[in-house]
Amino acid sequence: MMTQLLSQLLPILVLLPLLVFLTSLIPSEKKENWLSGIAFTGIALQAMFLLAFLIIWIIQGAKPLIIEEINLYRSNDYAFLVDLYFDWNAAIFLFTGTFITLLIVRYSAYYMHLEPGYKRFFNTLLFFNLGFTLTVLSGNFETLFIGWEFLGISSFLLVAFYRERYLPVRNAVRVFSVYRIGDIGILLAMWASHHLWHENITFFKLNHYELVHHQLSEHSLIGLGISFCLLVAAAAKSAQWPFSSWLPRAMEGPTPSSAIFYGSLSVHFGVFLLLRTFPFWEHQILARWVIGGIGVISAISGFAISNVQTTIKTRIAYASVAQIGIMFVEVALGLNALALFHFMGNAFLRSYQLLVSPSVVSYMIRDQLYHYQEKPAQVLPEWRKKLDATLYTLSVQEWGLEHFLNRIVFSPLKKLGHQLDFLTKRNVLLYFIPAYAAACVLYIFRASLWTEVREVLPEIFAGIGLLMVLKAFSERQSPRLSWMLVLMNHGWVALAVSFNEEFDWHHTLFYLSGFVPAGLIGYWLLHQLLEKERSFFNLNGYYGHAREYPQLAFLFLLCSLGLMGFPITYSFVGEDLLFSHIHSRQFVLAFFASSSFVLGGIALVRVYARLFLGPNIKKNHETALKSS
């Protein structure tokens, strides 16, 4: 009876952060006491409710709780279900996160006093708390991805909090780009799991050994592919090799946000993803070796790089990378309880270190000034000197991680995009819109097409959409062209999947129901900005127009989120619906579709950042230096 009551109370753990976030939108910017009071009171109530919930849950035997089938959309053979799941993983992550958030909110009330953007900071912090709670309590991949997206956009907004400066905005786009690259892994894992289980598999069902073992024994390659996709997402989120270089760049935000995001909570979500899906891949020896190997490489490189850093924030960041690498090894070895305990210790330690870092720097400078002592010279053998010099040089260069990531991911994408410079606005209107109309005619008469032609058309159409996104990703001249290409990509992807027999035109309309309005409104907002400024905009620099047009910037951000499939429109459900109708043999189509979603999101955020963030192009006011 008490277990049933706890299951009924479980949604309150999500509804409380949502209510606190919505309430924080009401006070004005000048009401600092109201804003900090709402945030602190709301998180305190959440903490007290969680503490009482945990005590009763433990007394009742700490049995896993699950709420199934909160239905957002259902058709004949598809349903989008929001599931909540509470076990020891969720309990420890949620307790640690709520307690640290409460401390950060209290600290921020004084730290951010009289800071421009005080309300924006607390709104974003509470939005992060909502995404954190939803991700931790998610009961399936669909629910987890909703919270995962919340974390991504709140990370971008907090890193770019000092939006009138160059480096915070540039690094925010970088962080968001790496996050989105990791999202390819989540999307492909969701798609493959649909076909492996023929349902929206819940994390609760993954704990049934017989069910998982039976499926993986018959589809071992699919299972291994899902495991590697999850590893890519986890490594990107937790700044593990080869994605480690983004973490110190994220420290451009305010110290409280650095403490809660990149010291304690958000950076550990890769570990949480591995823990949550551990029953799925625990018997895949190759996956465990790869996870452990990446953890070892990250731990060694993070430790070496942290010892040569010249700033305290970057030193803490790479020290955290090293500790999370050890957690990856612990999870790979099956030491889940140790990994959870390690997470708690590292989260509290890094939060404390980052919050006191300004005082520590001041103290150490004063201590060196008055108590400096030269270290005694050491006589080392020649091989030791060469080894130390090599490791030092390698660590100062951060083991070439950023160069490596640019070389294998971003530079090839940009080069490929620059090969598509023929995709001008004129050529798109003259050739690709008629081509899309012809493709629609082929869809109408698809029954009369040869089977071989009908089977290859989805990959061709999705490939055309991906080419448009690649051009939007590399476009540096026309923001309107970049925006239009991302919008057209959704049309090509929807048409590609429409050739699969289960995806009818009702599903196509549902999929496009959020993308098309967001795209058209966003294009109109771009036109309004050009009309107001009466000047030509390219994407080679930052213009900082959020200073002059804050409402326009906010509306454009909402349209960007809508066009990238962020969970503010039903198109997010439409994305999952589309992927569920991609056949298991259509791996190329699934890869093209997921890549176009991810790269399209990066292109849209880049347009938003360059037009509205960064140093304002007009020099009639104080402007931050590039190196500030």
231: its two tokens: 């590893």
Whether the predicted pLDDT of 626 surpasses 60: no
Average pLDDT over residues 202-221: 74
Whether the predicted pLDDT of 313 surpasses 50: yes
3-state secondary structure of 69: strand
Whether the predicted pLDDT of 225 surpasses 80: yes
Amino acid found at 292: G
CA distance linking residue 424 with residue 419, whole number of Å: 12
Question: Picking from 45-59, 159-173, 380-394, which range would have the lowest pLDDT averaged per residue?
Answer: 380-394
Predicted structure pTM score: 0.89
> For the chain, what percent of residues have pLDDT higher than 90?
14
pLDDT value at position 628?
Answer: 45
Amino acid found at 555: L
Q: Are 485 and 614 in contact (CB under 8 A)?
A: no
Average pLDDT over residues 89-106: 91
Angle in degrees, CA 361, 364, 365, rounded to 5: 85
Other CB atoms within 10 A of residue 421 CB:
12
Whether the predicted pLDDT of 166 surpasses 50: yes
Whether the predicted pLDDT of 622 surpasses 70: no
Helices (H), 431-586: 433-444, 451-474, 479-498, 505-533, 550-563, 571-580
Name the residue with higher pLDDT: 621 or 355.
355
CA distance linking residue 512 with residue 574, whole number of Å: 8
**DSSP for residue 70:** E
pLDDT digits (tens, 9 = 90+) for 99-120: 999 999 898 888 888 788 888 8
Name the residue with higher pLDDT: 562 or 373.
562
CA distance linking residue 108 with residue 454, whole number of Å: 58
pLDDT value at position 297?
Answer: 92
Confidence of residue 366 (pLDDT cuts 50, 70, 90): low
Average pLDDT over residues 376-380: 71
Q: Is 380 buried (19+), middle (13-18) or exposed (0-12) by CB count in 10 A?
A: exposed
Amino acid found at 144: L
Q: Is 336 buried (19+), middle (13-18) or exposed (0-12) by CB count in 10 A?
A: middle
Average pLDDT, the chain: 83
Amino acid found at 505: W
Average pLDDT over residues 398-412: 80
Whether the predicted pLDDT of 578 surpasses 70: yes
Confidence of residue 332 (pLDDT cuts 50, 70, 90): very high
Whether the predicted pLDDT of 298 surpasses 70: yes
Whether the predicted pLDDT of 371 surpasses 70: no
Name the residue with higher pLDDT: 328 or 33.
328
pLDDT digits (tens, 9 = 90+) for 254-271: 888 888 877 778 888 989
Confidence of residue 503 (pLDDT cuts 50, 70, 90): low
Whether the predicted pLDDT of 139 surpasses 70: yes
pLDDT value at position 45?
Answer: 93
Give the CA distances from residue 553 to residues 29, 232, 338, 353, in Å, rounded to whole numbers and listed in that order.
Answer: 17, 33, 45, 35
Whether the predicted pLDDT of 542 surpasses 70: yes
